[in-house]
Structure 1
């Protein structure tokens, strides 16, 4: 495992949290994008693409999403689309190969669908009147379903023989941190924005990506 690039990514992530806290947005073209570039480098140089090419593609889509979200607000939908593609490729990566279908599958799916339904209703209702376009509502709903499916797919690694501890534990934690990050982002964007909330988005997001990278590298 290439620890040098992981360490550089961790340092850049810390500076990105600081940049968010003190509102130095111009720093983030280095700190935010640099963190993901270093994670991609660590994954690549550690042989990650041989373990899961789908996950590697997902990291690239995540980098694209990070870049779009640094641009003016009109690029929000483009960023959402990039992260949607990232979630879809993560889903494929977690299910390659697929595990057995057990009672746990139905229980975790039911829980996540209930949460997703509540989230879709909550965020659709809080959209400003001028933004209640079908495109935005549908995009948000589809993304919530996609990230819920990603968390579900990560949870199935706990009983998938292709995954062993600690890789499957890291996968579940990473997926949950991603879920928390996006939930916080939606609250910050559509309900109420705070400085601590903006920092929390990035802390949980970076923890998610770090844990997922480690999960796939340890899977071998």
Structure 2
């Protein structure tokens, strides 16, 4: 703790230790890309290989993040993402995978909080998501229209809060949104060249950035702005 009771801006962890703890994530990513992605088939082996990098990140957050609600909710979001990865391995389980990923976004959203508002970010995200969903809507099966709308709203809110938080959370939220957009286009509109590779690269990059954001022991800007005033009141 710093003087005056304020917490440090970052959770200090030696860089070499941080890299060492991320080695399992990078190794499991390499195994997936080289062994499973070229001929991915819906079986438990490919499901395990697919979710193993995110499982490594969940363990990383559990062992490395400072105590507090932010890291806990990021950890829960990663666990839901693991479930989503498993479910979406089988096309018939797509709906349940969608639900699992929606819960992951809700946990990320809960971690990032609702303040400060930053209306310009909210409006920008809303416009982009509405335009994209307008393009996607006519290609969706009727049974998925409502679930996809609700999912997109959850994802958009998560991106808004991630952008407000900044740093690793902002880039992670942005890459996760791009990965979802690529997946939706590849699944419902037309297959993209190297589509699965692009989807997984952006997805894993997003998840590692969100995991790293749990090491930024930062209070929301609105809270940080209040602290000096609270300290002054205590002194009086």
Structure 2 residue aligned with 1:59: 78
Q: Compared with structure 1, are the counterparts of its residues 199 and 186 closer, same or farther at alpha carbon in structure 2 (3 Å cutoff)? A: same
Structure 2 residue aligned with 1:155: 163
Deviation at 1:18, TM superposition (A): 2.8
Q: Distance in 2 between matches of 1:143 and 1:200?
A: 21
Deviation at 1:74, TM superposition (A): 1.4
Q: Distance in 2 between matches of 1:138 and 1:148?
A: 15
* Unmatched runs of 5 consecutive residues or more in structure 2: 1-12, 219-236
Q: Greater helix percent: which structure?
A: 1
- Of 25, 46, 55, the match for 1:9: 25
Structure 1 residue aligned with 2:194: 196
Deviation at 1:12, TM superposition (A): 1.0
**Could you say what the CA RMSD is over the residues aligned between the two structures, in angstroms?**
1.9
Deviation at 1:19, TM superposition (A): 4.0
Q: Secondary structure at the match of 1:219?
A: coil
Instruction: Confirm or deny: 8 A CA contact 1:5 1:39 kept in the other structure.
Output: no
Deviation at 1:21, TM superposition (A): 4.4
Deviation at 1:29, TM superposition (A): 2.8
- Of 202, 205, 208, the match for 2:203: 205
Q: Distance in 2 between matches of 1:219 and 1:183?
A: 30
Q: Secondary structure at the match of 1:217?
A: coil
Q: Distance in 2 between matches of 1:85 and 1:202?
A: 19
* Unmatched runs of 5 consecutive residues or more in structure 1: 158-167
1:85 lines up with 2:93 in the alignment: no
Q: Secondary structure at the match of 2:39?
A: coil
Q: Distance in 2 between matches of 1:6 and 1:199?
A: 21
Q: Compared with structure 1, are the counterparts of its residues 10 and 21 closer, same or farther at alpha carbon in structure 2 (3 Å cutoff)? A: same
Structure 2 residue aligned with 1:110: 123
Q: Compared with structure 1, are the counterparts of its residues 195 and 18 closer, same or farther at alpha carbon in structure 2 (3 Å cutoff)? A: farther
1:138 lines up with 2:146 in the alignment: yes
Following TM superposition, the consecutive aligned residue runs of length 4 or more in structure 1 with deviations greater than 2 angstroms are: 1-5, 17-21, 24-31, 47-52, 98-101
Q: Distance in 1 between matches of 2:131 and 2:194?
A: 24
Task: Tell me the alpha carbon deviations over residues 152-198 of structure 1, each in whole angstroms, 9 at most, x when there is no partner.
Answer: 001111xxxxxxxxxx3111111110010000000110011245111
TM-score scaled to structure 1, two decimals?
0.83
Structure 2 residue aligned with 1:165: none
Q: Compared with structure 1, are the counterparts of its residues 49 and 84 closer, same or farther at alpha carbon in structure 2 (3 Å cutoff)? A: farther
- Of 102, 120, 127, the match for 2:133: 120
- Of 40, 49, 54, the match for 1:31: 49
